[in-house]
Chain A
């Protein structure tokens, strides 16, 4: 019973390169969330997706960041032209349903991005 799977676990990119982070939700889960955690800080919400739809992207930076959750395959968080300030842990989470059904959100182990 695999949990939320994220890869890569660690990623090093040079400034200006692109970073792609992948997330496979728990089996049967159709709701995916991405969070960012800067060093020594809590988690900040970035985006909430359901299959093929972005539901809430209020936490996404306006530029360089994008997310998708296609009908087939994992959810992808894409960061273009990375800068040092993008260095952080990026956590993906998934849930079976919505708040109204009281579903717990389960987190992956995170992808640690270092921009050099």
Chain B
């Protein structure tokens, strides 16, 4: 399957703690992106990391990418109740056929308890 796998499937933490989500994929990629989805809403783009980058920061977000292990992680520091959402990794693969579509991971449901 071309789909990415994320773990954990669900994560519950207390406000102020850090949350780490992991994404693994099977194909070669040009870049990997992380999206957030609040319940019943659309996806919000959080951050993009290119295949030649190892780490990227944006506010309280830190993303790492290990292309040798075909994995990425998203760290949310000092979490807030408002961070409660589902988080998806997504990537554009390099394989036969069109490369422009995004392939999504299975998602991690994060619940931040106040």
A interface, CB within 8 angstroms of B: 31, 33, 35, 41-45, 48, 55-56, 58-59, 91, 93, 95, 98-99, 102, 104-110, 112
- Set of chain A residues within 8 Å of B103, measured between Cβ atoms: 45
> Chain B: how many interface residues by the 8 Å CB criterion?
27
Does B101 count as interface, using CB distance less than 8 angstroms? yes
B8 to chain A, nearest CB (A): 14
- The A interface is mostly helix, strand or loop, or mixed, namely strand
- Set of chain A residues within 8 Å of B3, measured between Cβ atoms: 42, 44
| A33 vs B48: C-alpha distance when bound (angstroms) | 18
B43 contacts A91, C-beta separation under 8 Å? yes
B102 contacts A56, C-beta separation under 8 Å? no
Q: Of A45, A55, A102, A107, which contacts B43 at CB under 8 A?
A: A107
A58 to chain B, nearest CB (A): 7
B42 contacts A56, C-beta separation under 8 Å? no
A89 to chain B, nearest CB (A): 8
B24 to chain A, nearest CB (A): 14
From known contacts A42-B88, A43-B88, A99-B92, infer whether A48 and B101 are also in contact, taking CB-CB under 8 Å.
yes
